Amino acid sequence: MMFECRRISNQKDYLDLMKFSFGITENWMRVASKHAGEIFNNDLRDPFGAYDGSTLAAEYLLLSLKMRLRDSVIPMGGIGNVCTSPLYRGKGAVKFLLQKSLETMREKGQAVSLLYPFSRSFYRKLGWEEFDTMLRAKFSPGSIDLPDQKVEVKIEEMEDADGEIREFYNEYASSHYSMILRDEEMWKSDFEFRTDNDVSKKFVKFKREGRTTGMLRYVFLYDKFDKDSGLKFLVTIFLADDVETRHAMFRFLKGLSLQIDQIHAFLPPDFLLWPYLKERPSEMKIVPRTMIRIVDLKLLNGLRIDAPDMRVGIKIDDSQASWNDGVFELCVENGELSFSPSDSFDLECDISTLSSVVGGSTNFKEMIEFGRVKVSDGYKGQDLPKSLPFELQHF
């Protein structure tokens, strides 16, 4: 079928398609409707649709964000709310939209794209590949065990994040893992996005010597799927600059033991939890989250990366973005990555594999072992070091 891609102007059409596709209840739709009204008037949130004439066949939301990749903060296109009308399932509407999204993100100067996949194999065919993971842990606050602490850490609880928390978060995100920086819309949604299931949503700020050194965000809600009490206490953000602040944050959680039976915490995949607990967590699980795609290789030029100088020719297969399809030289010089056209190559791979290597979740050595990268006789083992992707912020 032939579709046309354009920005969605009818808010009701956008919401109706999203409501059906994601099975959103009326309780949540009240909040979603308010949020959609803000999206349609926000230059950093673009709802795009695949139209068959005047009929909206499929849609997605493009978020213009910034994230840390390797050692730089770069523009990123976040793909969300991907859904299709039941009348157009299996007719290529979503594939068409995502192909068009690459052109849009390139025009916006977004070097990479992240998304939460409904099907990994589907998105892999379009060039996205595995990126970050998260540690989900469930433990009793009563099992928290901490050493005595003489350092004073001041604690303040609030419903909306103040300027100090916002500044701390984005400074931390700019220098740790592959975190996404929060823009004003994210902070606003965090405060306003509440439903009848919520008991309490709070930010907790931790300060030492007059400076914010840590923060956590918790959500206390009623979960009808919870097999125990139905009430669930989630720690969705847990960030600390130093050990003393981290101890104070765990001490805060320990103080909830008379009311809260279990804490569900979302943590970086390398978080060392066991020294803080007397008993084993009732649950610990590393879960895959986003997939990453390089939008335009040349937009990555200048990316800071902690790697030795190297050069390697790569033949790249990108059937969705012609500007990435061809032979390029990958160069790291003085800690900066660059891609430029080349006449020869030592490695051969598709854009999804290269996206995962540049993102840091794997390297050429591993991908060669799995047959995802083909090697010529002239290859001398040049490689990019792995890093630990963790983007934290859901979008």
pLDDT digits 0-9 by tens, 169-225:
999 999 999 999 999 989 988 877 766 677 789 999 999 999 999 999 999 987 765
Higher pLDDT, residue 18 or 351: 351
Residue 257: pLDDT band by 50, 70, 90 thresholds? very high
Residue 162: what pLDDT? 97
Residue 271: pLDDT band by 50, 70, 90 thresholds? very high
Rounded percentage of the chain residues whose pLDDT exceeds 70: 97
Residue 232: what pLDDT? 92
- Could you tell me which of 335, 317, 319, 336 has the C-alpha nearest to residue 327? 317
Residue 228: what pLDDT? 58
